[in-house]
Amino acid sequence: MNIIINGIQYEVEKGITILEACRKAGIDIPTLCHDDRLEPSSSCRMCLVEIEGSKKLVTSCSTLVKENMVVYTHSARVMEARKEVLDLLVSNHPMECLTCAKSGKCKLQDYCYEYGITEASYKGARRKPKIDTSNPFYDYDASKCILCGLCIRVCDELQGTSAIGFENRGFDVVVTTPFNEGLVNSKCVSCGNCVSVCPVGALTPKKQTYRHWETKKVRTTCSYCGVGCQMDLVVKENRVVGVEPANVVPNDGLLCVKGKFAYKFINHPDRLKTPLIKRNGKFEEASWDEAYRYIRRKVNEIKEENGPDAFAGLTSARCTNEENYLFQKLFRAVIGTNNVDHCARL
Amino acid sequence: MITVERLREIKEKQRPILEARLKEKDIATINEDGSIVLKGEYYERQVRIALKNCGIIDPYNIEDYIAVDGYSALADILMNKSRQEIIDDMKASNLRGRGGAGFPTGRKWEEAFKYDADQKYMICNADEGDPGAFMDRSILENDPHAVLEGMAIGGYAVGASKGFIYVRAEYPLAVKTLRVAIEQARELGILGNNIFGTDFSFDIELRLGSGAFVCGEGTALIESIEGKRGMPRTKVFRTAHKGLWQKPTIINNVETYANVPVIFQKGVDWFRSIGTEKSPGTKVFALVGKVENAGLVEVPMGMPLREIVYDIGGGVQDGKKFKAVQTGGPSGGCIPADLIDTPVDFESLDKIGSIMGSGGMVVMDEETCMVDIARFFLDFTVEESCGKCVPCREGTKRMLEILENIVAGKGEEGDIEKLERLSDTISSASLCGLGQTAANPVVTTIKYFRDEYEAHIKEKKCPAGSCQALVQYFITEKCIGCGACARACPVGCISGDKKERHVIDQDRCIKCGACMEACPPKVSAVVRR
Ligand SMILES: Cc1cc2nc3c(=O)[nH]c(=O)nc-3n(C[C@H](O)[C@H](O)[C@H](O)COP(=O)(O)O)c2cc1C
Ligand code: SF4
Ligand code: SF4
Ligand code: SF4
């Protein structure tokens, strides 16, 4: 199928949206409420494009390509509409960029820069600040919320928890929990997936102590379970200060509460960093070589005295399939017993 | 089980009973062709199709409906016509949706008819949320079976076995009549399995809406039936293909459905002989405002506004001057006096910036301030916006704020341009029809009454003398210094010596008008300006 975008012809697959076609062609279209993983919502109106023969502007996220469609993604009319949308958003936004934790990684800020919005044209009522700090891991500040709905849809469509939703109508809409009882009293499982998708500073991790440009990202695999979720550690001055999900297999940008928020053990003083060997009733630090030698000696001794079935092995849910495989191999082939099991079965 | 013979028997039994009742009450004329019309000039000037049984039959008695040929079209169709023929007839009739947009019903049905699916749905939109509109309500309360029959015919045509009527809970009487009607139709076998002994099965359920205007929008209505928050959906696919629970779904308005059985009874040619080429048939309007005879009127499309307002409505109340008429409710526009000869049909209204909408028609006289009218409608829209998309949620609020400032005398140079820019964005960038049409009252009043906006902003004057903040009470030289006004003023802001001309301290005046009433009529020295 052929379509013409900004005067250039492209061959595209049938059944994709204009937005997808543009992205494949390397044309950037701004979006605030879109996420490839979710049903299109078309609520932010930033992805509007002009189509020849159509009076109205259409949202590229929800319009399928048609043979010989002629699309303009950055025409004067489109740019004007996007600017006005940003202006309207900014006219109802606190503009606390100087102190906002999201600064430097905020889509609203980025688009205002791109579209040259320096200040709000409309001075009038503002959304009332309604801050929910009841969750132990993250906060919601309604005054900064642009009501893109991404948090609600992620919680519903991907996380499957449906803890949050919109309340009220029109100008008074806010994101909230049923009967306004606060996140801590809701079904929320604190997975933080809503925090990860929020394009602005409305949903933020508690006590964020960094600005985005001070950090670097280190891709790693979550160590909590065998799923192997990919994530980016947010690192400032060699300390892990946050975690962001990576949008790749197997987790597609999702994490659970442990992956997202339980990273503080990394720099915790109680954390074990070397093996410990008990000598004279007291644990003492040892090297890995020492530890392995000690284990091998003990295993041989016990096996000689009591036979291989004196051993039983139990692995952890934090091990991967590969690790579990190796573990049972160790027990069956090396030690010689079938006494091997996994904690997830208990 | 109902049969064609049984239907005829009921008709033959019930018809004389109905006629006797009408004769006794002396409210209707029975014509030679069997049609029945309500007596009185107001009704005789109208052409009633959708309202034809209203006020004539007993809505709680299905036999009354059958006595006026009710369900004969459905019976005939099920016995003698193929689904394709129904679609063809509907297309040929060019019946256009009466819910607002005027989309051709036949074409809509054809989309669902051609789309294969294991389940399809018919929905009747009875949410009627426009302020001042009560056309659908009247049909539901007085002739519910016409809607059921229209839905069943549609269900047969597109291949749907299930229908929903989404009716607002604020219409308790309509809900009751519908409940009774559905029950009676089920009892008689007109709803249910194997209707008239054919393999067509169809049943209807009620769903109550809780008073959100936006739930009248098709996709929001579907979300609401599905049990979700009533917010419009973005349409990747059309509703006729993927609607309720992602199945092919037809949504039509109450009045649209009420037209359907009559079209099949009297034929496509008859229907097309009424109204205009592009807008055949009639339309029901709720004629309200400063008009002598307010009420529901059903007239052929294409009738000039003047005839509706003057010949049927009896002109403006109290002999005042006609100023404008607002059609289409909060989504419509204001039509000024010099366009009063505009024919009322979809195209003509669209051309002058208004819409047919669901049929609201508010007449305004010379004392109506057009800026305030725009503010009034916008106030409604701001309340009713669902808040999903940015232009409507944020933009209409900003427009309202600007309009509120203008009528309060705080308008600024550049406000009109700001309103125009916002109108443009909201109309072209909003997600659903509510936002896309929200600016119409503002756009049309600026277009036709720009001088009124300018007077408010530049001279701080309301030419219609209706904006409280902008009127001034003023004592002219006719004053004889009797002091009656000063005694009447509740805030004591009038001063003056006996037999001398008095003055009002404008800064303290609360504009209650007590002085004007107190001034002896012979003197009439106080004026409002
Ligand atoms: C904000 C909004 C409110 C609406 N309210 C109603 C309504 O109350 N009743 C109705 O029939 N159509 C209403 N509509 C129009 C419906 O979306 C739809 O076009 C109509 O029900 C289709 O039926 P029709 O083709 O028979 O007119 C509304 C549309 C919008 C955008
Ligand atoms: S933390 Fe997870 S469960 Fe809680 S609201 Fe956010 S997405 Fe839903
Ligand atoms: S909290 Fe963030 S993700 Fe949720 S609606 Fe507001 S801006 Fe969007
Ligand atoms: S136009 Fe208004 S009512 Fe329609 S989706 Fe947008 S916010 Fe909701």
What is the nearest CA distance from B524 to chain A, expressed in angstroms? Answer: 42
For residue B410, is pLDDT > 70?
Answer: yes
> What pLDDT, on a 0 to 100 scale, did the predictor assign at position B109?
98
> What pLDDT, on a 0 to 100 scale, did the predictor assign at position B529?
79
* Peptide bond just before A250 cis, omega within 30 deg: yes
B396 touches chain A (CB under 8 A): yes
B262 touches chain A (CB under 8 A): no
Beta bridge partners of A204: A139
For residue A159 and ligand 2, the question of a CB distance below 6 A is answered with yes
DSSP string, A80-110: HHHHHHHHHHHTTS---TTT-TTTTS-HHHH
At residue A318, what is the residue type? R
Q: Provide, rounded to the nearest whole percent, the portion of chain B with pLDDT above 90.
A: 91
Three-class DSSP category at B299: strand
Please judge whether B429 and A85 are an interchain contact, meaning their C-beta atoms are less than 8 angstroms apart.
yes
Q: Which residue of A has its CA nearest to B428?
A: A56
Which among A41, A61, A122 has the least Cβ separation from residue B398? A122
Quick one: pLDDT band at residue A129, thresholds 50, 70, 90?
confident
What is d(CA B110, CA A129) in angstroms, rounded to the nearest whole number? 50
Which among A64, A122, A146 has the least Cβ separation from residue B236? A64
Q: Is B439 exposed, middle or buried (0-12, 13-18, 19+ CB in 10 A)?
A: buried
Please judge whether A125 and B394 are an interchain contact, meaning their C-beta atoms are less than 8 angstroms apart.
no
For residue A193 and ligand 2, the question of a CB distance below 6 A is answered with yes
Q: Indicate if A260 and A312 belong to the same structural domain.
A: no
CA of A155 to the centre of ligand 2 (A): 5
> B391 to chain A: which residues are within 8 Å by CB?
45, 84-85, 88
B393 touches chain A (CB under 8 A): yes
Distance of CA B47 to the CA centre of its chain: 18
Has residue A322 been placed in a domain? yes
CA of A79 to the centre of ligand 4 (A): 21
Q: Provide, rounded to the nearest whole percent, the portion of chain A with pLDDT above 70.
A: 100
Neighbours of B32 (CB within 10 A): 5
Which residue's CA is the nearest one to ligand 3's atom 2? A198
Closest CA to A190 of A250, A230, A140: A140
Q: Which residue of B has its CA nearest to A174?
A: B387
What is the nearest CA distance from B248 to chain A, expressed in angstroms? Answer: 19
Please judge whether A45 and B391 are an interchain contact, meaning their C-beta atoms are less than 8 angstroms apart.
yes
Has residue A157 been placed in a domain? no
The answer to whether the beta carbons of residues B124 and B166 sit under 8 Å apart is yes
Please judge whether B393 and A147 are an interchain contact, meaning their C-beta atoms are less than 8 angstroms apart.
yes
Has residue A180 been placed in a domain? no
Closest CA to B291 of B264, B272, B266, B310: B310
For residue A37, is pLDDT > 70?
Answer: yes
Which among A81, A124, A147 has the least Cβ separation from residue B425? A81
Which of B221, B383, B431, B436 best tests ligand 4's pocket when mutated (most atoms within 8 Å of CB)? B431
> What pLDDT, on a 0 to 100 scale, did the predictor assign at position A242?
96
Single residue among A74, A92, A115 that ends a domain in this structure: A74
Three-class DSSP category at B448: helix
Which residue's CA is the nearest one to ligand 4's atom 6? B389
For residue A164 and ligand 3, the question of a CB distance below 6 A is answered with no
A contact set with B (CB within 8 A): 17, 40-45, 48, 56-57, 59, 61-64, 77, 80-81, 84-85, 88-89, 91-92, 121-122, 124-125, 146-147, 149, 165-166, 168-173
**CATH number of the domain that A59 lies in?**
3.10.20.740
The answer to whether the beta carbons of residues A259 and A286 sit under 8 Å apart is no
Has residue A121 been placed in a domain? no
Which among B229, B397, B431 has the least Cβ separation from residue A42? B431
What confidence tens digit (pLDDT) does each residue in B80-109 have? 999 999 999 999 999 999 998 899 999 999
Q: Which residue of A has its CA nearest to B233?
A: A41
What confidence tens digit (pLDDT) does each residue in B171-196 have? 999 999 999 999 999 999 999 999 99
Average pLDDT over residues A272-278: 94
Three-class DSSP category at B209: strand
pTM: 0.91
HEC letters along B340-377: CCCECCHHHHHHCCCCCCCCEEEEEECCCCHHHHHHHH
Q: Which residue of A has its CA nearest to B427?
A: A56
For residue B64, is pLDDT > 70?
Answer: yes
**CATH number of the domain that A220 lies in?**
2.20.25.90
Q: Which residues line ligand 4 (CB under 6 A)?
A: B 214, 232, 385-389, 392-393, 430-432, 434-435
For residue B224 and ligand 1, the question of a CB distance below 6 A is answered with no
ipTM of the complex: 0.89
For residue A147 and ligand 3, the question of a CB distance below 6 A is answered with yes
> What pLDDT, on a 0 to 100 scale, did the predictor assign at position B174?
97
What confidence tens digit (pLDDT) does each residue in A74-103 have? 999 999 999 999 999 999 999 999 999 999
For residue A150 and ligand 3, the question of a CB distance below 6 A is answered with yes
Average pLDDT over residues B143-169: 98
Q: Which residue of A has its CA nearest to B380?
A: A170
Q: Which of A162, A169, A173 is the mutation pick for testing B, counting most B CBs within 10 A?
A: A169
Closest CA to B443 of B352, B317, B337, B311: B352
For residue A345, is pLDDT > 80?
Answer: no
Q: Provide, rounded to the nearest whole percent, the portion of chain B with pLDDT above 70.
A: 100
The answer to whether the beta carbons of residues A269 and A252 sit under 8 Å apart is no
What confidence tens digit (pLDDT) does each residue in B461-470 have? 999 988 988 8
Has residue A6 been placed in a domain? yes
Which residue's CA is the nearest one to ligand 2's atom 2? A191
Which among B386, B429, B436 has the least Cβ separation from residue A81? B429
For residue A188 and ligand 3, the question of a CB distance below 6 A is answered with no
Q: For strand B526-528 and strand B473-475, is the pairing parallel, antiparallel, or unpaired?
A: antiparallel
Neighbours of B114 (CB within 10 A): 14
What is d(CA A59, CA A233) in angstroms, rounded to the nearest whole number? 35
What is the nearest CA distance from B227 to chain A, expressed in angstroms? Answer: 14
At residue A164, what is the residue type? I
What is the nearest CA distance from A166 to chain B, expressed in angstroms? Answer: 8
Taken in order of first residue, the domains within chain B and their CATH numbers are: 4-272 (3.40.50.11540), 292-365 (3.10.20.600), 380-459 (1.20.1440.230), 472-528 (3.30.70.20)
Mean pLDDT estimate for chain B? 95
For residue A344, is pLDDT > 80?
Answer: no
Which ligand has the nearest atom to the CA of A184? 2
Kindly give, in sequence order, each residue whose CB lies less than 8 Å from that of residue A217, ignoring residues fewer than 6 positions away: A232, A233, A234, A235, A244
Single residue among A74, A95, A115 that ends a domain in this structure: A74
What is d(CA B384, CA A249) in angstroms, rounded to the nearest whole number? 43
Single residue among A37, A55, A74 that ends a domain in this structure: A74
Which of B166, B217, B255, B393 best tests ligand 1's pocket when mutated (most atoms within 8 Å of CB)? B217
Q: Indicate if A258 and A315 belong to the same structural domain.
A: no
CA torsion, points A56, A61, A66, A70, in degrees to nearest 10?
50
Instruction: Give the number of domains in chain A.
Output: 3
What is d(CA B342, CA B304) in angstroms, rounded to the nearest whole number? 5
How many Cα neighbours within 13 Å face the side chain of B196?
A: 18
How many Cα neighbours within 13 Å face the side chain of B53?
A: 29
What is d(CA B529, CA B517) in angstroms, rounded to the nearest whole number? 15
CA of A174 to the centre of ligand 3 (A): 9
Q: In what order do the strands lie in the sheet with B295-300?
A: B295-300, B282-289, B360-365, B322-327, B333-336
At residue B69, what is the residue type? D
Has residue A178 been placed in a domain? no
Has residue A248 been placed in a domain? yes
How many Cα neighbours within 13 Å face the side chain of B245?
A: 12
Q: Which two tokens stand for residue B169?
A: 């809970």
Q: Which two tokens stand for residue B53?
A: 């049984």
B421 touches chain A (CB under 8 A): yes
Which among A43, A125, A168 has the least Cβ separation from residue B388? A43
What confidence tens digit (pLDDT) does each residue in A297-312 have? 999 999 999 999 999 9
Ligand 4 atom nearest the C-alpha of B214 is 3
Q: Which two tokens stand for residue A306?
A: 């009591």
The angle, 0 to 180 degrees and rounded to 10, between the axes of the packed helices B144-158 and B254-266 is 80
Q: Which two tokens stand for residue B144?
A: 């519910």
Kindly give, in sequence order, each residue whose CB lies less than 8 Å from that of residue A3, ignoring residues fewer than 6 positions away: A9, A10, A12, A18, A21, A65, A66, A67, A68, A69, A70, A71
For residue A346, is pLDDT > 70?
Answer: no
For residue B101 and ligand 1, the question of a CB distance below 6 A is answered with yes
Has residue A320 been placed in a domain? yes
Classify residue B309 by its DSSP letter: I
For residue A280, is pLDDT > 90?
Answer: yes
The C-alpha angle with vertex A98 and arms to A92 and A99, in degrees rounded to 5, equals 90
Average pLDDT over residues B228-236: 95
Please judge whether A122 and B401 are an interchain contact, meaning their C-beta atoms are less than 8 angstroms apart.
yes
Average pLDDT over residues B195-219: 95
B242 touches chain A (CB under 8 A): no
Alpha helices in B211-367 (DSSP H): 218-225, 254-266, 268-272, 305-306, 346-351
CA of A159 to the centre of ligand 2 (A): 7
Closest CA to B420 of B434, B433, B432, B402: B402
The whole domain housing A10 covers 2-74
Please judge whether A57 and B401 are an interchain contact, meaning their C-beta atoms are less than 8 angstroms apart.
no
